[in-house]
Amino acid sequence: MKITRRDALKAMAGTAALAALPLVRSEEAKPAAAAPAATGPGGSFRHSVCRWCYQKIPLDHLAREAKRIGLESVELLEPLEWPVVQRHGLTCAMAMGTTRIPEGLNRVEHHAVMVPGMIERIGACANAGLPNVICFSGSRGGMDDELGLANCAVALKQIVGEAEKRKVTVCMELLNSKVDHHDYMCDHTAWGVELVKRVGSERFKLLYDIYHMQIMEGDVIRTIRDNHEYIAHYHTGGVPGRHEIDASQELNYAAIARAIRDVGHRGYVAQEFIPARDPMTSLAEAVAICTV
268 neighbors 48 (Cβ within 8 angstroms): yes
Residue 6's pLDDT is: 56
Residue 24's pLDDT is: 36
All residues at 6 or more sequence positions from 281 whose CB lies less than 8 Å from its CB, including other chains: none
Residue-wise pLDDT for 185-200, tens only, equals: 999 999 999 999 999 9
Percent of the chain whose pLDDT exceeds 70: 85
Residue-wise pLDDT for 255-270, tens only, equals: 999 999 999 999 999 9
Residue 1's pLDDT is: 40
Residue 17's pLDDT is: 38
Domain chopping of the chain, boundaries: 29-290
Residue-wise pLDDT for 114-145, tens only, equals: 999 999 999 999 999 999 999 999 999 999 99
Task: Determine whether domain 29-290 maps to CATH 3.20.20.150.
Answer: yes
Q: How many angstroms separate the CA atoms of 132 and 267, rounded?
A: 10
All residues at 6 or more sequence positions from 37 whose CB lies less than 8 Å from its CB, including other chains: none
Which burial class, exposed, middle or buried, applies to 200 when counting CB atoms under 10 A from its CB (0-12, 13-18, 19+)?
A: exposed
Mean pLDDT value of segment 79-93: 98
Mean pLDDT value of segment 8-28: 40
Mean pLDDT value of segment 70-80: 98
Q: How many angstroms separate the CA atoms of 157 and 105, rounded?
A: 11
Say if residue 240 is preceded by a cis peptide, omega within 30 of 0.
yes
112 neighbors 97 (Cβ within 8 angstroms): no
All residues at 6 or more sequence positions from 100 whose CB lies less than 8 Å from its CB, including other chains: 18, 136, 138
Q: How many angstroms separate the CA atoms of 154 and 144, rounded?
A: 16
Lowest-confidence segment of 1-5, 57-61, 112-116, 176-180 by average pLDDT: 1-5
Residue 7's pLDDT is: 56
* Amino acid letter, 13: A
Mean pLDDT value of segment 241-246: 97
Residue-wise pLDDT for 158-177, tens only, equals: 999 999 999 999 999 999 99
Residues, the chain, total? 292
The model's pTM = 0.88
* Secondary structure of residue 96 in the 3-state scheme: coil
Q: 103 versus 17: which is more confidently predicted?
A: 103
All residues at 6 or more sequence positions from 42 whose CB lies less than 8 Å from its CB, including other chains: none
Question: Which pLDDT band holds residue 181 (cuts at 50, 70, 90)?
Answer: very high
Give yes or no for residue 9 having a pLDDT over 50: yes
Give yes or no for residue 34 having a pLDDT over 80: no
CA distances in angstroms from 202 to 53, 157, 229, 238, listed in the order given: 30, 12, 10, 30
Give yes or no for residue 35 having a pLDDT over 50: no
> Terminus-to-terminus CA distance in the chain, angstroms?
34
Q: How many angstroms separate the CA atoms of 93 and 125, rounded?
A: 10
* DSSP one-letter code for 108: G
